[in-house]
Amino acid sequence: MKKSTLLIVLVTVLAVLLGAGLALSKANSSKPAETEPPIVDETVPLISGDASSLVSVEFRIGEGETFVLKKKDSAWQLGDDPDYPLNPTAQNAITGAAAIVVADRLVAENPSDPAEFGFDAPSGKITVNLSGVVTVFELGDTNSFSGLTYLRVEGKPQIYAISNSFVQTFSVTKTDLTKLDEKPAIDFSTVKSIVKTSPAGETVYTAVRDEENNLSWTKDGETVENDTVTELFATLTSDLYSGTLTGYISPKTEDKAAAYAVYGLDDAQKTHYTVNYVEQVEIPAADEVSTSTFKDVPKTFTVSFGTDGEKTYCFPSLSTLIYEVTAEGLI
C-alpha cells in the first residue's frame, strides 16, 4: 500500500510541474521580442534648401579674407567680377554646404553667457541668401573633445554644434577659389621652334630643328648652347603655375600697361618666350569605306616673365593671372 501511494504522489507532482512548464513556455512565447532602443537623431536642420535657389553666400573664417559668391544669370561669380576665373569645384562645395545646413545637436537653448562658447569674439561669419531669405551664422569656439564648432543664428539665443567639415568648406584662400592655369600638354618631339624675345622686342635666341631633327639655339646664324634647349622646354612647359598666385589683371582694366608694369611684365620690361609646335588633329573619314586621317595643325604657346627687382613673375598666354615663380635664368 505504501509503495502504491508513493508512486501516485510522484506521478501527480510530475504532472503539476510539467503543466507549469508548459504554461510558462506559452506565456514567454506570447511576449514581444525585445529590440534595441531606437537611435535618437539629435541633428537640427537650420537651412533646408537647394543650391539652385541660392542668391549669394558671404563668408569669413578666422582672420582670413571675406569672400562673396554671387549668382548672376544662373552663373556664379566671385564678388562683382564676372570675368574672374572662379574654381567650379570650390564654388560647388561652398554653395552646396550653404544650401543645406544641419547642426549636429542643440547645445544650449538660452545660455546665460554665450562668451563661454566663444561668441564674445566670433571665429567666423557666414551669410546665406536663399531665395531672398537671409540667414547669418556666427561661429564660436571649437570643442577640443568632440571637434565640433559652436554655431548660432544671428539674433537668436540657441547655440548649436556643427561638424568641423562644414567649417573647413568655408576655410578657403583666394587661390582655392581660383581656377588656376594648367601646364601646357606639349610633346617635345612636336616642337618646331622656341623663340626668346628681349624687353626691347629683339630676338635673343631661336631654337630651331636642324636636319637631324634636333633643337639647338641659334643667334645671328651661329649655334650656341645646344644642350640647354631640352632643359628650357621642360621649364617652360612645367607646372610653373604651382607657384604663388600673385595678381589678377581683369580684361576690363583700362590701363593694362600700368597694371603689368608692377610685375615687370609690360612690353618695356618683360622677357617673352614663344613655343611653336604642331598638334595632330583627326580628320573624319568622308564615307564608310574610307579611314580617318591625321593632320598636323600649327599651334603656339607663349609665356612672359618679369621682375620687380626682387621676385620673378610668370604670365601665361591667354591668362588673366600672374604667378610668383622660382625658376632661374629665364630673364
User: Amino acid identity, residue 277?
Assistant: Y
Q: How confident is the model at residue 10 (pLDDT cuts 50, 70, 90)?
A: very low
Q: Record the cell numbers describing residue 235, joined without a space.
A: 621649364
Residue 201 burial (CB < 10 Å; 0-12/13-18/19+)? exposed
Among candidate residues 240, 20, 206, 56, the one with its CA nearest the CA of residue 132:
56
* Range from 88-92, 126-130, 231-235 carrying the lowest mean pLDDT: 231-235
CATH of the domain spanning 44-170, picked from 2.60.40, 3.90.25, 3.30.470, 3.30.70: 2.60.40
Q: How confident is the model at residue 41 (pLDDT cuts 50, 70, 90)?
A: low
Q: How confident is the model at residue 225 (pLDDT cuts 50, 70, 90)?
A: low
* Range from 92-101, 178-187, 232-241, 299-308 carrying the lowest mean pLDDT: 232-241
Q: Are 70 and 85 in contact (CB under 8 A)?
A: no
What would the mean pLDDT of 254-280 be, rounded to a whole number? Answer: 93
Domain with CATH 2.60.40 in the chain: 44-170
Q: What is the DSSP string of 237-251?
A: TS-GGGSEEEEE--T
pLDDT value at 240 more than 90:
no
Of the two residues 131 and 5, the one the predictor is more confident about is 131
pLDDT in tens, 26-37: 444 443 334 444
Of all residues in the chain, the percent with pLDDT exceeding 90 is 58
pLDDT in tens, 149-165: 999 999 999 999 999 99
Q: How confident is the model at residue 3 (pLDDT cuts 50, 70, 90)?
A: very low
Mean pLDDT of the chain: 85
